[in-house]
Structure 1
Amino acid sequence: MSTKRIYEVTASAGPIVGGVKNPGDGQQITVSERAAEYDVQQGHLIFVGDPEPNLEKPDGYVRKSYLDTKVDLVLAKGDEMDNRVNEAADRATTVIESVAPLATLQQTATQVTQDAGRAEDARVAVEGMEAFGNDMQKDMTNTHDLGGNFATGLVKSVSEQQYIDLQAFEVAAQIRRGYGQSGIRFGRHYADGGDAAYHRPSMVSFAALGVHNHPNYRLMCGMPEQTAIINGHEINTRHCDYRIMHGVGGGAYLEVEDAIPPAVPPSVATKATPEEQVAEMREYLRAFGAKDASIRADYAQYFDTYVSVLECWLENLDGDTLSDTFPSFRHQIDNGGLRSMNDNYMSMFGSGLKARFENKDFKPTVIRVMNDDGSPQFAVLRYRISAMRLGTYADWPVHRMVELVDDPATRLRLSKTDDDIDKTRLGRYRVLGSLDDRGFKRRTGPTLLDDIMSSVPGLDGVGANIEESYLDTNNDHSTFTQRLKKYKTTTALNSAYYNRFYSYEQAGAAGRRDYRRGWNDPTLFVASTTKSEVAQLSGMGGGHRVSWAIPLELIVATPLGLWNPYDVQVLNGNPTGSGNTEASPYSGVYQNGYWFMTPSDLFDVEGTDIDPADTDEAAWVQCDDGEVRLMRGSGIYVHMPEISGIQTARLRYPIAPMHDEGSFAFGYMKAFETEQGELSAQIVAELLEQRKALKKGGLL
């Protein structure tokens, strides 16, 4: 590519400068490519300036002799060249100006493309972060979409651990089921103990189940803290002291109502004077004590038989505050919040100390079910004591329904005979298979105890009707609804009441359809409930809610509960006065702690506290006629106070099964004991026969 250099002449004549003479003013010269090369080589510029140059002999220009080589000179007019130069410069400027934006645009486009790629990456990253944030936010609520799973590994691990805890709770229950049956495990021992193993009291300390008297309350049964295992779940109660109450049908959760004491016999109520009423009432009590209808033929119609049960269930936990599950009017749980209550109880366990007011219990928190959204449903083990009227003593004669349990440990520990135990609070009893059906038999179906328990409603209360059904699976994995029936019938089972025998609508793999409740638990009773407060069982179709129970006592209520021969004023609150002296009598009676309507002269002795917990002392009460009289409690006693010529009558029969007596070890021991007893009886019989033979032969 040739290079041309254009110069504008600024002087018409001038001296030689550096071997070059300046051309004329206003002239332009063009230096050829060869001259340009020469200039570079020699370091000189050659100007030829003349409007019309004479190449042969240019005037005023540098002589050729000064050059080493020939230079081609091209002259041009200044104005024309200026125009061309200016046009070329304009075009160059235009091109440059047009090309520069294109380059910038290209650079911008490249940058935009790169930025767009980075923006897409950023968008994907942001969406990922948003999704992760949403997952984290949802996970932090401990829930996920139905049928889904948690998004974060940490929460997934926590969820799996919660499910493991759920299973561990049931595994622990199953282990306890293997150790024994549903029943009382032991009671508080206070200060009992000794050197021999049998010196440790179990269910019987100073009394079976610790029963004691609170007859100054209407239909109150004194009972201290208990530890029980029901369906494998351990319950540690507060001091119980329960009123005879039952669940209200159609009522609120845990709503109960009082039982009504038996009516006063008309032959008592119609007597002209209180003194005559006292004499006639004594005859009814004498007939009851002797179980002798010849004294008063209708006596059994005015004594009612009740059964009390210890119920337990798992209650949904939706906060830290819990209400008491049954009214005592003497004791209530220390409700400072669940965690505080359990901390206090565990401290009591750990220190070996006793709560002074015996209002603490232990309510372990468990995970009962994992909901479909992944959240755990926490539950707490609750319990209550309720009681139900079976009927009159004529239909439910307790003395024909039970027999004393052989208790060698209590006999040896307290140096008592069976007769001593039967006549004191130490006695505990078992329900016979049927009336007067004494002895031990193998039983594979309902007994008298089932008749008793089937009278007790579960948490839905009296009159409830629940037909229990479950989703069952065939061998081909198809499902069908399995309905529960009464044992060995096709009649629907009302599971709202406690039961332990049932039949399936369809037989199982073993060809059987008749079963006992529990995995292997002879004393477990179960009732269904519709109360949403109860934790549900999620399997077998889901939505099932149950409570479990064991029998505690058979109780006889007397006509003293409503008898008021001196027309003492019945109040709706506490009376005035101390009741301790004739000068400061109670102004009336109140069912919670001041139920003193029975004339003290009905009995031969004043109240004597066999147990420091008893409250059966007499009290001075203002009567309707203005007189102040010494009165006795009109509530429930373990035994009726002594009356001259009357057999001491028992009113409370502890019938609770013992947990340990359902163990296989206890079963082996009793079997050995029975065999040895039978062998001993056989040996004794043979010795007697030998003695008779020797005597007959004159050898004795």
Structure 2
Amino acid sequence: MRLLIAVCVMWIGLATSNADSSQRLQKMEQIMKDLTKQLVTQQFYVEERIRSDGDSGIKQVRRISTGTDTYNSETTSAVHSHPNYKDVIGFGEVNVVLNGVEFRTRHNDYSLVMPSHHANAYHVTEKIPYPQVPPSVLAKSTVPEQIAEMKEYFRAFRLQNYTIRNYGNFFKPVLCYLEGNWEWNTNHLHEPFHSETHHLDAESYDALVDKVRLNSYTGMSDQHQNVAYLPKKIMDIDENGNPRYAQWNYRILCNPLNHVDLKVFKPIDDIAFRMSRKYNMSTYTRTDEARFTVAAEPHRATFNQREGYGMFEDKAYARGVLDNLMHQVPGANNYRGGQQDTEFNETALYADLGHERRENTARYHREYRLHHGMQFNQRGFSDNNLWVAQTHQNRVASITLRSCKTVGTLKTNCTSTTEKFTYAIPLEIIYLNPLHSWNPYKLEMKNETMVAENGRTGDAHNAHLAYNGISPSQFYQTPSEFFGNTAGQEVGVLDPSGSIHRVMASGIQTILPNIPGVGVVRQRWPIYPLHREGDSVGKEADALLEMMNHMSSMSTLYQAPTVQGKHDTVKPDLQFRLNPSQTDPPGPHDHEFFVSASDWEDLINKNVMVRVQTSPSEGSQEESHSHYLELALDRHTHKPVINKCDEQNHHCWDGHREFEEVTYPLF
């Protein structure tokens, strides 16, 4: 503001003495409008700068430790467990980037809630129900018999084996995600989502910013981790030149899924964490810090029963399992709200060639198509993790574009387009299990005060100190005999008759304690993306890490030999080119595509169909396009052919029918 005043004073001083005061005032107002517009542009520049630095994803977590090497401090995991709570999912403070907006959360510890199925009001939610106890468990007459039967369900889930028990209805996956958006600013602070343990500790957004500024200036941290940095910006300027402010906010929700096999998860190496703990990969995957990637195609993944996760080849893909899962998640319109994105006479279509329908842009997606399958567009310029959802909620800040076209020499037609979007990234998939509902000792749910009254501490061997029932924050109902070594984890709880029982926490955990005869069962599968993964240097580092971890099999990629003797080596992808098309439009052009060596071998030897996306053709925005090919063996010649192109039989709409391998012979 001082800068604006100084500019105005300087302008007045330079004004001629006979200038009309009204005219000067109008010019001053115009200067103020221009400066405000420039401020909007500067804010946009900051976001664009962040967008070019990397993808949407987690950037940092709170530092707890340090060391002689950089990797001795925390990396990116904020996952932890509060199993004594009935409805708390442990997730700490994180720095996050969503579509170029960088912010810092409070300590999250979110609850198991989903958008409302019944109302489309802004941020209305409802609880996610837990799975029921299998009837075959309840049919057992004694607790030891129930324990034995319940273990069989966990063994079936752990081994992904339905022949042991049909566990599908009792281990239900939910996808939990972080959502953020700009809201029209009222300065009235409201909690973005419920947490049993944390809340934003401020009376207004301005007061919240002041607390964060003080903490940053002094290096202090909020004792209860109840502050967050949520930026504010000028979103728009009205017709009178007044700025309209928008406040950034976020929340964490979950969405129930129908079925997700464990084979689609594969660990992502966190070499910094492994180095700091000296862990091998097997040990690393049994920690809270482990992070996983999701397979592109589930039918190409296999389940490793020993390790408890999937094995599949890393590959580029156009649309995969994660896209299908995220598309089940609604934005701010909730489940009942649908919407279509129509801009400049173009309607966004569903990004799957097998479904010729308009995209429900109120669900989270990161790609769409136009021109009835000719062109696929990605949301964002270079953000792999930009899932967006359109909304009509009044609270969500909008942006308006006015576009004018001159018709002939006299008439100008102008149209306005106003858009509202929210953004999201996946955090984790959690498998809810029957332990949340199984209460074989019929322990009574009470309030926290009653459970711990008269100094009760949950002593497992003293009825006078055992908990008097259970509560949402003292949620202990699983018999300790269900698990193996329970030293220091079991508590004593009185049933309604006054008998003491040794029980374990039954809330959500990242990894359950060892179950004899079953082993270790992971309940939470973190899949959150990282901001740095979109940086070109980060991509190089990840590629180098992969080469170092598999030095023998990737020795052919090194410029100098790294190992001696015979060994299997990675084979390069095969490059192909569609025979040129002369169809006009779009005009003469061709496409290239790549197939991994393993996929090609499966096609040749097992007739396993291969699906690939071609490179885009060169040309104008209207003419540029890609194709989605399905390759198979010809039934007569047994040679690879195009089985489908863009879900059409044998040839593409623009005339491509055959392809040839591209080779680079040595001279």
Asked whether the two chains share a fold, i.e. TM above 0.5, the reply is yes
Counterpart position of 2:470: 589
Counterpart position of 2:308: none
Question: What pairs with 1:234-313 in structure 2 (closer than 5 Å)?
Answer: 234-249=102-117, 250-296=119-165, 298-313=166-181
Counterpart position of 1:458: 331
* Distance in 2, Cα, partners of 1:291 & 1:506: 40
Is 1:657 paired with 2:657?
no
Letter of the structure 1 residue corresponding to residue 144 of structure 2 = E
Counterpart position of 1:406: 269
- TM-superposition CA deviations, 1:290-348 (whole Å, max 9, x none): 3333432x023310111111111001112x32111000111111122212211111111
Letter of the structure 1 residue corresponding to residue 272 of structure 2 = A
Counterpart position of 1:45: none
* Distance in 1, Cα, partners of 2:297 & 2:213: 43
Change in Cα spacing, 1:155 to 1:267, as seen in structure 2 (3 Å) is same
Partner SS state of residue 289, structure 1: helix
Is 1:499 paired with 2:365?
yes
* Distance in 1, Cα, partners of 2:67 & 2:397: 43
Answer whether contact 2:468 2:493 (CA < 8 A) is retained: yes
Counterpart position of 2:484: 604
Deviation of the 1:238 alpha carbon: 0.3
Counterpart position of 1:418: 281
* Distance in 1, Cα, partners of 2:152 & 2:320: 34
Change in Cα spacing, 1:460 to 1:268, as seen in structure 2 (3 Å) is same
Change in Cα spacing, 1:423 to 1:565, as seen in structure 2 (3 Å) is same
Partner SS state of residue 196, structure 2: coil
Deviation of the 1:428 alpha carbon: 0.9
Answer whether contact 2:120 2:335 (CA < 8 A) is retained: no
Deviation of the 1:229 alpha carbon: 0.7
Answer whether contact 2:120 2:337 (CA < 8 A) is retained: no
Is 1:531 paired with 2:531?
no
Which ranges in structure 1 are unaligned for 5 or more consecutive residues? Answer: 1-127, 136-149, 204-208, 473-480, 609-616, 691-700
Counterpart position of 2:26: 152
Is 1:441 paired with 2:315?
yes
Aligned residues: 510
1:482 to 337, 341, 346: 346
Answer whether contact 1:302 1:558 (CA < 8 A) is retained: yes
Deviation of the 1:372 alpha carbon: 3.5
Greater mean alpha carbon deviation, residues 673-682 or residues 172-181: 673-682
Identity %: 26
Change in Cα spacing, 1:166 to 1:607, as seen in structure 2 (3 Å) is farther
* Distance in 1, Cα, partners of 2:104 & 2:486: 35
Question: What pairs with 1:138-149 in structure 2 (closer than 5 Å)?
Answer: none
Change in Cα spacing, 1:572 to 1:484, as seen in structure 2 (3 Å) is farther
Letter of the structure 1 residue corresponding to residue 375 of structure 2 = R
Deviation of the 1:162 alpha carbon: 2.0
* Distance in 2, Cα, partners of 1:464 & 1:669: 42
Answer whether contact 1:504 1:513 (CA < 8 A) is retained: yes
Change in Cα spacing, 1:164 to 1:484, as seen in structure 2 (3 Å) is same
Letter of the structure 1 residue corresponding to residue 367 of structure 2 = F
Answer whether contact 1:244 1:388 (CA < 8 A) is retained: no
Counterpart position of 1:196: 69
* Distance in 2, Cα, partners of 1:679 & 1:590: 55
* Distance in 2, Cα, partners of 1:154 & 1:630: 76
Answer whether contact 1:457 1:496 (CA < 8 A) is retained: yes
Answer whether contact 1:219 1:261 (CA < 8 A) is retained: no
Change in Cα spacing, 1:618 to 1:345, as seen in structure 2 (3 Å) is farther
- TM-superposition CA deviations, 1:177-230 (whole Å, max 9, x none): 111111110111112x23334334321xxxxx2211112223421011011111
Deviation of the 1:374 alpha carbon: 2.9
Answer whether contact 2:349 2:372 (CA < 8 A) is retained: no
TM-score, length-scaled by structure 1: 0.69
Counterpart position of 2:450: 575
Counterpart position of 1:323: 190
Letter of the structure 2 residue corresponding to residue 321 of structure 1 = H
Is 1:351 paired with 2:218?
yes
* Distance in 2, Cα, partners of 1:580 & 1:439: 49
- TM-superposition CA deviations, 1:490-531 (whole Å, max 9, x none): 411111111001012479xxxx63111111111110011121
Partner SS state of residue 413, structure 1: helix
Answer whether contact 2:180 2:251 (CA < 8 A) is retained: yes
Deviation of the 1:279 alpha carbon: 2.4
Deviation of the 1:560 alpha carbon: 0.9
Greater radius of gyration (CA): 1
Which ranges in structure 2 are unaligned for 5 or more consecutive residues? Answer: 1-19, 302-311, 403-415, 569-667
Change in Cα spacing, 1:312 to 1:567, as seen in structure 2 (3 Å) is same
Letter of the structure 1 residue corresponding to residue 359 of structure 2 = L
Greater mean alpha carbon deviation, residues 157-166 or residues 578-587: 578-587
Give the superposed CA RMSD. 2.5
Letter of the structure 2 residue corresponding to residue 492 of structure 1 = R
Answer whether contact 1:574 1:594 (CA < 8 A) is retained: no
Counterpart position of 1:6: none
Answer whether contact 2:356 2:372 (CA < 8 A) is retained: no
Partner SS state of residue 385, structure 1: strand
Answer whether contact 1:314 1:535 (CA < 8 A) is retained: yes
* Distance in 2, Cα, partners of 1:681 & 1:516: 34
Change in Cα spacing, 1:271 to 1:373, as seen in structure 2 (3 Å) is farther
- TM-superposition CA deviations, 1:579-619 (whole Å, max 9, x none): 4233144443333x1322222222223375xxxxxxxx544
- TM-superposition CA deviations, 1:116-160 (whole Å, max 9, x none): xxxxxxxxxxxx99xx6xx9xxxxxxxxxxxxxx96333333322
Letter of the structure 1 residue corresponding to residue 247 of structure 2 = V
1:517 to 379, 383, 402: 379
Change in Cα spacing, 1:607 to 1:185, as seen in structure 2 (3 Å) is farther
Answer whether contact 1:235 1:383 (CA < 8 A) is retained: no
Counterpart position of 2:566: 688
Answer whether contact 1:219 1:244 (CA < 8 A) is retained: yes
Counterpart position of 1:232: 100
* Distance in 2, Cα, partners of 1:674 & 1:642: 31
Greater mean alpha carbon deviation, residues 484-493 or residues 565-574: 565-574
* Distance in 1, Cα, partners of 2:467 & 2:31: 65
Greater mean alpha carbon deviation, residues 352-361 or residues 367-376: 367-376
TM-score, length-scaled by structure 2: 0.72
Letter of the structure 2 residue corresponding to residue 513 of structure 1 = Q
Counterpart position of 1:633: 505
Answer whether contact 1:247 1:386 (CA < 8 A) is retained: yes
* Distance in 2, Cα, partners of 1:373 & 1:585: 68
Is 1:559 paired with 2:434?
yes
* Distance in 2, Cα, partners of 1:679 & 1:214: 42
Letter of the structure 2 residue corresponding to residue 635 of structure 1 = G
* Distance in 2, Cα, partners of 1:524 & 1:453: 11
Letter of the structure 2 residue corresponding to residue 482 of structure 1 = E
